[in-house]
């Protein structure tokens, strides 16, 4: 090999594979270190091979035609892609560039080979990634898109998935040609919200999440869509969003139906409570008037009969006294039942009714109950008075059953156009899980009554331990002024 032409020292040290081939026989004349290392061959093994031995996949006709087209002028070159076989039988892809040279009067071909293994691996990985992306996009309900907003206000959709037509009734080409078509689909009453949400996302570079309605003229139909996108800055100060639009019409309709159902249920609950309260009032009055009147008459008759009994009949007198005591106890029971059904204190206003109930609770249960209210009554209609009173009763019942408290503080006050009732105990407190128990109808009933009044009920930890129940309702006078 010493007498044969050889590569220059710079080529010997090059990172690319460089070969010298005989122009006539295509036998290997010399190869640099990179070629020898990649092929796993020494100089002697290489000199024993020609181009076709190194690259068995080469077509001789095609190669001869290619080399025949290589001109003699300086710098002329031709290229091809093939695979080189190593000594161990494995192969790898390369790209050859051929040049004609003359060395020591001998016609040679200088070939520079670039290993394409990494390039092909990258291309394969890219193809796999693209295939996965395409599969995800195809199976994503809705529209996957890129949206650009430039500093001058110009907008465009650089990329849109095939779901464009199905969702928006516009083709990809139409929307890419005129991005404002999308904005014009949005109903006028929702359009400002869309623009405000887009500007907020642009200014803060935060996620863009918007729900709104669009009108599809071709289908004469309104759709609810959800838009979710992530922004990032691009060259020139523009902002690009990558996101997904989806059809949420069915979900919105279900939500609206749930809201309507809840409203109907709340109306029904309020009606049932009003009917119950009216029925309680009616029964209480009948018990008080009819039973109370009859029992009073019986007591008077017994008293008259007892006064006429002979003194020598003590057994009859004892029976009469027993019946008189029984009538007294029955009258007390009738009075108590009437009060339970509808306390007569409700007729005196909410302040008097709550103060009376606080005293009764303290007397019956033995837990100190302090009531603080305004000096004058607060005007409420009968339904509101009864509902607020029942909430108060239920709160005291819960305290007696579950709180383990020794003191209850009740506060009733006006706050502007609202009435605020706060019931605070020093018991063990209520846990978040207690509110979700399947049988916690007391808390639910209180909450539903508060909603029926157009108010809210809140549970919180009381200062120093225990639980505070806060009911806030809007006064009817304030609502009437607004109307």
CATH code (residue 446): 3.30.565.10
Is the model's pTM score more than 0.75? no
Stretch 239-259: mean pLDDT, rounded? 90
pLDDT higher than threshold 80 for residue 287: no
Alpha carbons 423 and 57: distance in angstroms, whole number: 91
Stretch 152-174: mean pLDDT, rounded? 91
Secondary structure class of 209 (helix, strand, coil): strand
The pLDDT value recorded for residue 97 is 93
- Which residues have CB under 8 Å from 374's CB, separation 6+? 351, 412, 413, 414
Specify whether 432 is located in the same domain as 461: yes
- Note whether residue 241 is domain-resident: yes
Count the helix, strand and coil residues of the chain and give each as a percent rounded to the nearest 5.
50, 25, 25
- Note whether residue 256 is domain-resident: no
The pLDDT value recorded for residue 478 is 43
Q: Pick from 137, 132, 143: which is nearest to 244 by CA?
A: 143
The pLDDT value recorded for residue 224 is 94
More confident position, 2 or 212: 212
Specify whether 349 is located in the same domain as 470: yes
Residue 442: band (very low, low, confident or very high) from pLDDT cuts 50, 70, 90: low
Stretch 447-474: mean pLDDT, rounded? 81
pLDDT digits 0-9 by tens, 331-375: 888 777 777 777 777 778 888 888 888 898 888 888 888 888 887
Single residue among 209, 228, 247 that ends a domain in this structure: 247
Specify whether 283 is located in the same domain as 319: yes
Specify whether 306 is located in the same domain as 431: no
- Note whether residue 269 is domain-resident: no
Looking up tokens 């009949």 gives: 313
Token readout for 477 is 């006078």
pLDDT higher than threshold 70 for residue 439: no
Specify whether 298 is located in the same domain as 365: no
- Note whether residue 134 is domain-resident: no
Average pLDDT, the chain: 84
Token readout for 24 is 């006539």
Looking up tokens 């270190």 gives: 33
pLDDT higher than threshold 80 for residue 249: yes
The pLDDT value recorded for residue 265 is 79
Which of 227-236, 253-262, 311-320 is predicted with the least confidence, judged by mean pLDDT?
Answer: 311-320
Token readout for 218 is 């071709």
Which of 172-176, 245-249, 403-407, 439-443 is predicted with the least confidence, judged by mean pLDDT?
Answer: 439-443
The pLDDT value recorded for residue 1 is 41
Specify whether 54 is located in the same domain as 159: no
Residue 2: band (very low, low, confident or very high) from pLDDT cuts 50, 70, 90: very low
Alpha carbons 168 and 171: distance in angstroms, whole number: 8
**234 half-sphere exposure, CB direction, 13 A CA radius:** 14
The pLDDT value recorded for residue 8 is 87
Q: What percent of the chain has pLDDT over 70?
A: 93
The pLDDT value recorded for residue 352 is 87
pLDDT digits 0-9 by tens, 43-65: 899 999 999 999 999 999 999 99
The pLDDT value recorded for residue 112 is 94
Specify whether 360 is located in the same domain as 417: yes
pLDDT digits 0-9 by tens, 297-323: 887 887 787 777 777 677 777 787 888
Contact 460, 471 (CB under 8 A): no
Instruction: For residue 99, give the H/E element and its range.
Output: strand 91-103
Contact 34, 20 (CB under 8 A): no
Alpha carbons 184 and 177: distance in angstroms, whole number: 14
CATH code (residue 82): 3.30.450.20
Contact 242, 146 (CB under 8 A): yes
Token readout for 284 is 């209480």
pLDDT higher than threshold 50 for residue 159: yes
Alpha carbons 393 and 216: distance in angstroms, whole number: 55
Secondary structure class of 425 (helix, strand, coil): strand
pLDDT higher than threshold 90 for residue 5: no
pLDDT higher than threshold 80 for residue 435: no
CB neighbourhood size of 296 (10 A): 12
Specify whether 452 is located in the same domain as 356: yes
Specify whether 323 is located in the same domain as 359: no
286 is in which domain, residue-wise?
A: 277-341
The pLDDT value recorded for residue 437 is 58
Alpha carbons 224 and 247: distance in angstroms, whole number: 6
Pairing of strands 221-233, 208-216: antiparallel
- Which residues have CB under 8 Å from 63's CB, separation 6+? 26, 51, 80
The pLDDT value recorded for residue 396 is 86
User: What does DSSP assign to residue 436?
Assistant: G
User: What does DSSP assign to residue 69?
Assistant: T
The dihedrals phi and psi of 255, each to the nearest 5 degrees, come to -60, -45
pLDDT higher than threshold 80 for residue 196: yes
Q: How far is CA 263 from the centre of its chain?
A: 23
The total number of structural domains in the chain stands at 4
Specify whether 369 is located in the same domain as 388: yes
- Note whether residue 125 is domain-resident: no
The pLDDT value recorded for residue 466 is 82
Angle between helices 382-398 and 249-286 (to 10 degrees): 90
Q: What percent of the chain has pLDDT over 90?
A: 33
Task: State the greatest distance between any 2 C-alpha atoms of the chain, in Å, as a whole number.
Answer: 167
- Note whether residue 128 is domain-resident: no
Ordered alpha helix ranges (H), 399-472: 441-452
Residue 432: band (very low, low, confident or very high) from pLDDT cuts 50, 70, 90: low
- Note whether residue 262 is domain-resident: no
Alpha carbons 152 and 136: distance in angstroms, whole number: 34
pLDDT higher than threshold 80 for residue 122: yes
Single residue among 286, 316, 341 that ends a domain in this structure: 341
Residue 483: band (very low, low, confident or very high) from pLDDT cuts 50, 70, 90: very low
pLDDT higher than threshold 80 for residue 217: yes
Single residue among 60, 85, 120 that ends a domain in this structure: 120
pLDDT higher than threshold 80 for residue 19: yes
pLDDT digits 0-9 by tens, 130-141: 778 777 667 667
Alpha carbons 118 and 92: distance in angstroms, whole number: 10
The pLDDT value recorded for residue 110 is 92
Specify whether 224 is located in the same domain as 240: yes
Specify whether 373 is located in the same domain as 477: yes
- Note whether residue 390 is domain-resident: yes
Alpha carbons 464 and 483: distance in angstroms, whole number: 42
């Amino acid at each position: 090999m010493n007498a044969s032409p050889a590569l220059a020292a710079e080529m010997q040290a090059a990172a690319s594979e460089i070969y010298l081939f005989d122009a006539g026989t295509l036998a290997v004349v010399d190869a640099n270190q990179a070629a020898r290392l990649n092929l796993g061959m020494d100089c002697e093994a290489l000199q024993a091979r020609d181009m076709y031995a190194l690259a068995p996949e080469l077509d001789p006709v095609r190669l001869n035609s290619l080399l025949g087209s290589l001109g003699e002028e300086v710098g002329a070159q031709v290229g091809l892609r093939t695979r080189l076989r190593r000594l161990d039988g494995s192969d790898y892809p390369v790209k050859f560039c051929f040049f004609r040279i003359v060395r020591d009067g001998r016609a040679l071909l200088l070939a520079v080979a670039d290993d394409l293994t990494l390039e092909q691996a990258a291309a394969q990985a890219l193809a796999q990634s693209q295939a996965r992306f395409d599969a995800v996009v195809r199976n994503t309900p809705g529209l996957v898109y890129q949206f650009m907003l430039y500093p001058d206000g110009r907008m465009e959709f650089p990329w849109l998935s095939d779901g464009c037509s199905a969702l928006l009734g516009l083709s990809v080409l139409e929307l890419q040609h005129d991005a404002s078509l999308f904005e014009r689909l949005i109903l006028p009453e929702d359009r400002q919200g869309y623009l405000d949400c887009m500007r907020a996302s642009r200014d803060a570079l935060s996620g863009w999440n918007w729900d709104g309605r669009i009108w599809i003229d071709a289908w004469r139909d309104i759709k609810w869509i959800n838009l979710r996108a992530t922004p990032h800055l691009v060259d020139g100060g523009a902002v690009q969003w990558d996101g997904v639009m989806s059809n949420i019409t069915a979900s919105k309709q279900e939500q609206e139906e749930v809201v309507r159902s809840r409203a109907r249920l709340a109306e029904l609950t309020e009606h049932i409570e009003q009917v119950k309260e009216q029925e309680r009032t009616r029964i209480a009055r009948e018990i008080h008037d009819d039973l109370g009147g009859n029992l009073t008459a019986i007591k008077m008759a017994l008293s008259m009969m007892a006064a006429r009994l002979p003194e020598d009949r003590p057994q009859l007198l004892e029976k009469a006294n027993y019946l008189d005591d029984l009538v007294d106890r029955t009258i007390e029971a009738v009075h108590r039942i009437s009060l339970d059904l509808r306390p007569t204190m409700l007729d005196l206003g909410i302040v008097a009714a709550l103060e009376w109930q606080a005293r009764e609770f303290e007397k019956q249960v033995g837990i100190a109950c302090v009531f603080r209210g305004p000096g004058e009554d607060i005007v409420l209609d009968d339904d509101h008075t009864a509902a607020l009173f029942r909430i108060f009763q239920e709160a005291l019942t819960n305290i007696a059953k579950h709180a383990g408290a020794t003191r209850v503080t009740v506060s009733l006050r006006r706050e502007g156009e609202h009435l605020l009732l706060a019931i605070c105990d020093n018991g063990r407190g209520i846990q978040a899980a207690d509110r979700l128990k399947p049988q916690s109808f007391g808390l639910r009933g209180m909450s539903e009554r508060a909603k029926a009044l157009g108010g809210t009920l809140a549970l919180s930890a009381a200062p120093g331990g225990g639980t505070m129940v806060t009911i806030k309702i809007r006064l009817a006078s304030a609502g009437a002024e607004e109307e």
